[in-house]
Amino acid sequence: MGGKARQKNTHLLAVHVPRIPGAPFLPSAAGGADFLTGRAQGDIRRGCTPGAARQHGDQRGVRAAGWGTGAVGGRRPEVPNYVQVCKRNDPLYTECVLQSIENIRPRLAKGIPKMRVPPLEPFVLPMLDVERDTNNLKIRAHLENITASGGSGFIVDKLRLDPYKLSLSMVVRVPRVSAQADYDVTGRLLVVPLRGQGLFLGKFTDTRVEVEASAKEHEVDGKKRLQVDQLRSKVTVGGVDFKFLNKNPADAVITNTATAFIQENRRRVLEVAMPVIEETVDEVGTALANSIFQALPLEELLPE
């Protein structure tokens, strides 16, 4: 699959993603129900928790703990009857998928536990750890209780699927997203020092996400399933409005200085931060897709 190359600098991103209430239990190929991500890259450790990830700061790569399942009595995962399943040999396969997305859109706010699709209103990440050391950005950040609202209003501007090559190319637009997170950060952004603990509040408008992805088949318990092979995104943000509510008065001057600098240099700051943003999108997208793929065999996701 074609895709843009990531900047080759020492960095670490660990994403801890939530359990999905009501989702059926299904052991993963890696031997654990909670760690369902896994890429064919030697520097990314499947099932690496944030704590373990922090012990490997010299590694290049992005690490994500997989989407949790939330065991419910061993119930077998299944495609709900309100989900339109598109046949692999349908000459209008892409159009069928688009219609299926629109059909389930009203349910995406609360999620679809049977398929391990998490709620989008709000979308929640319990924890995110970032370490990065480049000329323009040196940062060590720990974020908790990350929530984002507005994701269910996404618009698919472009979708190209090949159900036999297992490839996807799409462009998604999200008109408005509101986000907040508890933060603990130290480092430097361009020439400005960063230090503080508190609450981040942000609003983002006209966000555009381009995604190129491919999957591969593998076998679990005698059944063929899909697994993400590659997923790369390119993110463009139209407008940004934010504030940092610092908990420590001693850091107020640094926080205010950094906030003023970011406000005055938004485009430049977004350019510097974008690799971290895109890596987060890549890993969360991979974890989500693999969770769905692990829940359902290939014959149910792509029937002939």
At 96-117, the pLDDT tens digits run 999 999 999 999 999 998 888 8
Assessment of whether the complete model's pTM goes beyond 0.85: no
Proportion of the chain above pLDDT 70, given as a percent:
75
pLDDT computed for residue 52 by the predictor: 39
β-bridge partners, 155: 173
Reported in sequence order, the residue ranges of the chain that DSSP labels E, i.e. its strands, are: 11-16, 61-65, 123-133, 137-149, 155-162, 167-189, 192-220, 223-236, 239-246
Q: Provide CB contacts within 8 A for 154, sequence distance 6+.
A: 172, 173, 174
Residue 16 lies in a domain: yes
For 202-211, the pLDDT digits (tens) are 999 999 999 9
Q: Tell me whether residue 242 is in a domain.
A: yes
Is it the case that residue 86 has pLDDT exceeding 70?
A: yes
Q: Is residue 3 part of a domain?
A: no
Q: Give the whole-angstrom CA distance, residue 18 versus residue 119.
A: 10
Q: With cut-offs at 50, 70 and 90, classify the pLDDT of residue 16.
A: low
pLDDT number for residue 134: 87
239 assigned to some structural domain: yes
Residue range 128-185, pLDDT digits in tens? 888 888 888 898 999 999 999 999 999 999 999 999 999 999 999 999 999 999 999 9
Give the separation between CA 167 and CA 203, rounded to whole angstroms: 32
Instruction: Provide the pLDDT for residue 82.
Output: 87
SS3 content of the chain, % helix, strand, coil (to 5): 25, 40, 35
Q: Which of 155, 126, 23 is nearest to 77 (CA)?
A: 23
Q: Is residue 1 part of a domain?
A: no
- Residue 294 has a pLDDT of 86
Whether 75 maps to a domain, the answer reads: yes
Average pLDDT of the residues in 234-261: 89
Query: How far apart, in whole angstroms, are the C-alpha atoms of residue 171 and residue 155?
Result: 9
Check residue 136 and report its DSSP letter: S
Q: Which amino acid is at 203?
A: K
CATH of the domain at 32: 3.15.10.30
Task: Supply the range of the domain harboring residue 236.
Answer: 11-301
- Residue 43, judged by CB atoms within 10 A of its CB (0-12, 13-18, 19+), counts as exposed
Q: Give the orientation angle of helix 266-295 with respect to helix 252-264, to 10 degrees.
A: 90
Residue bearing the bigger pLDDT, 19 or 266? 266
pLDDT at 47: 32
Inside any domain, residue 258? yes
Q: What is the CA radius of gyration of the chain?
A: 20
Q: Are 48 and 41 in contact (CB under 8 A)?
A: no
* Res 296: pLDDT: 87
Counted domains in the chain: 1
Specify the length of the chain in residues. 304
Distance between CA 302 and CA 193 in Å, rounded? 51
What are the tens digits of pLDDT across the range 263-289? Answer: 889 888 889 989 988 998 998 899 889
More confident: 22 or 284: 284
pLDDT per position as a tens digit, 30-62? 333 333 333 322 222 223 333 333 343 333 333
Q: Give CA–CA dist 108/81, Å, rounded.
A: 15
- 188-202 pLDDT per residue, tens: 998 889 899 999 999
Is the residue at 18 inside a domain?
yes
Closest CA to 290 of 11, 17, 50: 17
